[in-house]
């Protein structure tokens, strides 16, 4: 997937959210993903995949939000904890190429976060869940836009996230991941990264 470097504010990426959550986590999801991707040279143009038609853009990503993406309304609504081997998010890979389709497993995210966020006030829970989802979306965008299945040693580009990563006040791309994303903005034809496990 190429990157348009004609915009002064960075390369534009149109993001279609399938199964758009009509709840309070959405603004926080968008804000976190926007902030993380801006640090890598991209601006996100959010669209509702069922209603909006995007302008022509070389970068279009479809993000499927699977399961219940809302924050639990009360501590009693906490879900069952998730096993450590369950994937929270993934990007589609075909013939070695990372395609512009990502999936976020909201039920798995709730399973990871509920025991930590249940004691928070409802507005704070919405913020924490939305921010966590935005971080996962940014991780998959890293794979898609940099056209790499490799991971970084730490930060948003690392292979596994903990509850602490998703809930921490600061969790960003590390230098290696930023370099790969910046390179994709500068040279969209450069897909020379080693292929590892997504």
SS3 label, residue 114: helix
Determine the Cα–Cα distance for residues 156 and 172; give it in Å rounded to an integer. 5
Name the token pair of 192.
């020379």
Determine the Cα–Cα distance for residues 158 and 163; give it in Å rounded to an integer. 14
Q: pLDDT of 82-126, one tens digit each?
A: 555 679 999 999 998 999 999 999 989 988 898 888 788 888 999
Helix (H) or strand (E) holding 113, with range, is helix 106-117
Read off the pTM. Answer: 0.83
Q: pLDDT of 118-174, one tens digit each?
A: 788 888 999 999 999 999 999 999 999 999 999 999 999 999 999 999 999 999 999
Sign of the C-alpha dihedral computed for residues 188, 12, 172 and 64 taken in this order:
negative
Domains of the chain and CATH, by start: 11-186 (3.40.390)
Pick from 32, 2, 28, 34: which is nearest to 15 by CA? 34
């Amino acid at each position: 997937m190429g990157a348009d470097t004609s915009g002064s504010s960075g390369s534009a990426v149109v993001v279609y959210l399938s199964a758009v959550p009509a709840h309070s986590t959405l603004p926080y999801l968008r804000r976190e993903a926007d902030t993380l991707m801006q640090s890598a040279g991209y601006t996100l143009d959010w669209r509702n995949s069922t209603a909006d038609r995007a302008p022509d853009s070389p970068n279009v990503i479809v993000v499927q939000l699977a399961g219940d993406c809302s924050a639990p309304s009360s501590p009693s609504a906490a879900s069952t904890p998730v096993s450590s081997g369950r994937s929270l998010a993934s990007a589609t890979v075909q013939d070695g190429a990372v395609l512009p389709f990502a999936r976020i497993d909201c039920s798995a995210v709730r399973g990871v976060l509920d025991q930590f966020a249940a004691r928070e006030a409802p507005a704070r829970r919405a913020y924490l869940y939305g921010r966590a989802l935005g971080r996962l979306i940014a991780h998959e965008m890293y794979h898609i836009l940099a056209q790499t299945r490799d991971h970084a040693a730490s930060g948003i580009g690392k292979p596994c996230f903990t509850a602490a990563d998703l809930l921490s006040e600061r969790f960003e791309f590390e230098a290696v991941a930023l370099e790969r994303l910046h390179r994709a903005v500068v040279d969209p034809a450069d897909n020379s990264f080693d292929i590892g496990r997504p």
